[in-house]
Amino acid sequence: MRRPILAAALMAGVFATPLAAQDLPTLRIGLADDADALDPTLGRSFVGRIVFGGLCDKLVDLDARLNVVPQLAQGYEWADSKTLVFKLRPGMKFHDGTEVDAAAVKYSMERHLNMQGSARRGEISTLDRVEIVDPLTVRMVLKTPTAPFLAALTDRAGMIVSSKAAEAAGKDFSLKPVCAGPFKFVERVAQDHITLDRFDGYWNKDAIKLGRIIYRTVVDPSVRLANLQAGALDIAERITPTDVDAVKKNPKLKLAVYDGLGYQGITFNVGHGERAKTPLGQSALVRQAFNLAIDRAALVQVVYAGMYTPSAQAIPEASPFYASDVPAPARDVAKAKALLAQSGAKLPVVVDLTVTNSADQVQTGEVLQSMAAEAGFDVKVRAMEFAASLDADDRGDFAAHLIGWSGRADADGNLFNFLHTGAPLNVAGYSSKEVDAWLDEARAVTDVKARQALYGKIAVAHMTDVPLMYLYINKWITGMSTRVDGYIPIADGMIRPQGITLAK
Amino acid sequence: MRGHLGIRILQVIPTLLLVSIYVFCLQQLMPGDPALVLAGEERDPQVLAQIRAELWLDRPLVIQYFHWIGNVLTGDFGFSWRIRQPVAMLIGQKLPVTLQLGTMAFIIAVSIGVPMGIISAVNKNGFLDYLANGIGLAGLSTPNFWLGIMLILLISVQLGWLPPSGYVPLGEDWRQSLATTIMPAFVLGNAIAAVLMRHTRSAMLTALEQDYVRTARAKGLTEWVVVLRHALRNALVPVVTLGALELGTLLSGAVLTEQVFSVPGFGKLIVDAVFNRDYPVVQGVVLVTATVYVSLNLIADVLYVLINPRLRGA
């Protein structure tokens, strides 16, 4: 029994030979990782989202200024604080020829909500029911007023799949996904490439100037760059900051460098089990001192050639919810020493810092170590494999953890789950009644000004409590051939094929 | 001979069973909860519980093991937890790639290592000996990933002769296939060539001092006939053993090289699976690797007998 399966699989591996049959150019994109399941309900990886950018359209999308703009929906409206109404474009088709209508939206949203293993449930858990008003109108009714719900639909939770294909494939849908994006699935060889071909029935097909996209997995950043330099790739995502100069000097290449939505920071264990019982975990003064002992700009300069944006907030400056009156504190060793003295902690204060075992993270740890030493801290850098460090976080088996967050379009996605008492990602064990109330209220109101004020208060309180110490906002550094035009940089780091052209 | 072979083949079954238990237990010792890794950034306890239930992670280990091995015996290696493709299909995609790469590397290693070993032994302490030793030492001490990146920069980026990375299946376009695999095969073969060279040299030195070599020379045979037909044949036995072991190592040991050249092979499959705690893939790959390894040893045993007739009675 085993032999036929293996033999068939062997044949599939060796003889899979699709041919491009169109005159439009093929765009080759180098991804830094292998995508996981190609099913918008199950997918969890960042690079998977990039592939979905070609494969699956969403109800709504983000523009360069992080506004929510129409995609499959030609418009949306908050009927009240719990009811969101979408009007779909007429005549849209899925890759299998079936129609994109209100029933398909209802089916996909319920699939996101109920399918076993769904990775979307958490993002849209506040959704109570989806009602079909007419074939092109859907009404989504929420359990409680939730302002960030709309932003969640600009990502995988807003992707609509063909109900016919999904029903037929069941759990195997990810082997041959059928959506309503500009490109349809052709083949995938795990860890090597994913091929998509232009979909002629796409609703916005005039925006598509490519015949085929091949997403190639090239994990090693120097090799990704070498592929770009040799012309084997047209776009390479996540060029390392230290390679930026090499790209700039190459007349055949260009760069798009822009702020992302995510941050890098240190999570302190302030109330999660036994390991919170250190001067660092118990005393906000000690954490404030640590915060003042670090020169963020110098850190970014040393480790990342100055390419990232130093920051003391979880939200990027581009967001309307960034608190411009809470800048990153300048390094002040004298004040840090004074705060330590005031806290009464015994010197040197030991900081057991967990870092991921990659070269840049370890280097960041070492830079923090030498800076903090001057103020009276003894930072012990402990390199750990990523999966093991997550496990340790969940058990509360850490004192300080250098870890990032990829970021969400809405401010709530960068704050609530980390700071609200009992929230799933609050591994710090932080709990503040005031902050909880502000976070709850910022979810409930849809008015941007009112939410700005609430997130501003949270930013101020954060500088006193310092349960997380944000270090910098990530930047996306995308390298591409000068033949590529029309790439639109948007803070979510996706590569949207709409409008991209490739000269011969 | 036939009985000996029969016993060797029977020994394979308990060996593989032990390997399966060993791998299964070993990965339980790895820190890091697979459900946590799978859940990605969304670590909602409800989601975690559901993942554990779906993947049988909430059941006793013994049950998990028998569930898996039972399926394997019926030919079902299960699904990759991360990318949701059948493990058999993944192995089917990767095994030919690594076999091709390994075979090419091995051919390169043998065609460099063995002649160099012979030349070096025949010219013991001469210039060619020192030269061969020097090259061998350099080959052994050059890290694969460094050599790989240097080759890419020189041959692909600067000269533009070969594609920098990637892989094209043999059945699709054999020229492109060779073009994409020749650099990684050279990098892999380079280190093995050095080992083979050292072993061939010392085995040849021993053989050249034997009585039968003196007899052969006394018979008036030319030096090359003595070296190639009489000494080399005897010297090859340990070299074949080593070759079989190295070929086995190529299966799983090509990780760094596969990573550098983005060759979607076996090594890369298992390393990614370990980091993602994708247990069904780890188990499937290790089991297949062990099967290949054991088979190669079996083939080496048969080869001894063919090379050295005196072993036929044993």
Segment A241-254 mean pLDDT: 93
* pLDDT higher than 70, residue A15: no
- 3-class secondary-structure state, position A401: strand
Gap from A197 CA to chain B (nearest CA, Å): 19
Confidence of residue A1 (pLDDT cuts 50, 70, 90): very low
Class of residue A455 by CB neighbours under 10 A (exposed 0-12, middle 13-18, buried 19+): buried
Evaluate the CA torsion angle A366, A368, A371, A377 in order and state its sign: negative
Q: Residue A328 corresponds to which tokens in the numbers above?
A: 């990153």
Distance of CA A300 to the CA centre of its chain: 21
**3-state SS assignment for residue A143:** coil
- Can you identify the CATH homologous superfamily of domain A263-473? Dipeptide-binding Protein; Domain 3 (3.10.105.10)
Chain B partners of A267 at a C-beta cutoff of 8 Å?
none
| The predicted structure's pLDDT at residue A257 | 94
Least confident of A114-128, A195-209, A338-352, A468-482: A114-128
Which residues 180-199 on chain A approach chain B with CB closer than 8 angstroms? 188-193
In contact, B90 and B227? CB cutoff 8 Å = no
Domain ranges of chain A: 24-54+181-260+476-502, 60-165, 263-473
CATH number (1.20.140.10, 3.40.50.150, 3.30.2270.10, 3.40.190.10) of A24-54+181-260+476-502 reads 3.40.190.10
Residues 6+ apart with CB under 8 A from B149: A222, A223, A226, B260
CA dist A253 → A220, A229, A483, A489, B110 (Å): 19, 7, 8, 16, 41
For residues A101 and A138, the answer to whether their CB atoms sit within 8 Å is no
**Residues from chain B contacting residue A226 (CB–CB below 8 Å):** 149, 152-153, 156-157, 164-165
User: Does the distance separating the beta carbons of A12 and B92 come in below 8 Å?
Assistant: yes
Q: What is the predicted pLDDT for the residue at B55?
A: 83
Question: How far are the Cα atoms of A49, A286, A333, A355 from residue A377, in angstroms, in the given order?
Answer: 41, 10, 11, 17
In the structure encoding, which two tokens stand for residue B282, read together?
Answer: 């780890």
CB < 8 Å from A in window 209-248 of B:
none
Tell which residue, A295, A228, A212, has the closest CA to residue A482.
Answer: A228
Mutate to test the interface with B, among A171, A390, A425 (most CBs of B within 10 A): A390
What sign does the CA torsion over A68, A74, A79, A82 have?
Answer: negative
Q: Can you name the CATH fold of A60-165?
A: Dipeptide-binding Protein; domain 1 (3.90.76)
Provide the pLDDT for residue B250: 77
| Token code pair at residue A355 | 């870092």
**For residues A276 and A344, what is the distance between their CA atoms, to the nearest angstrom?**
17
Contact A9 B171 (CB under 8 A): no
pLDDT of residue A406: 84
B189-201: pLDDT as tens digits = 988 888 889 888 9
Cis before A348 (ω within 30) = yes
- Predicted TM-score (pTM) of the model is 0.82
Quote ipTM for the complex: 0.73
Assigned token pair, B39: 């859940």
A386 touches chain B (CB under 8 A): yes
The Cα of A252 is separated from the nearest Cα of chain B by a number of Å equal to: 12
What is the rounded distance in angstroms from the CA atom of residue A235 to the CA atom of residue A213? 11
Per-residue pLDDT of chain B (314 residues; tens, 9 = 90+): 566 777 777 888 888 889 889 888 888 887 778 888 877 776 777 778 888 888 888 888 889 899 888 988 888 888 888 888 899 989 888 888 888 998 899 899 999 998 999 899 888 888 999 998 888 888 888 888 888 889 988 998 888 898 888 888 888 888 989 999 999 999 989 888 888 898 889 888 888 888 888 888 888 888 888 888 888 888 887 787 787 777 777 776 677 888 888 888 888 888 888 888 888 998 898 888 888 888 888 887 777 777 777 766 54
Give the list of residues 6+ apart from residue B26 with CB closer than 8 angstroms, or none: none
Question: How much is the pLDDT for B313?
Answer: 57
A17 to chain B, closest Cα gap in Å = 6
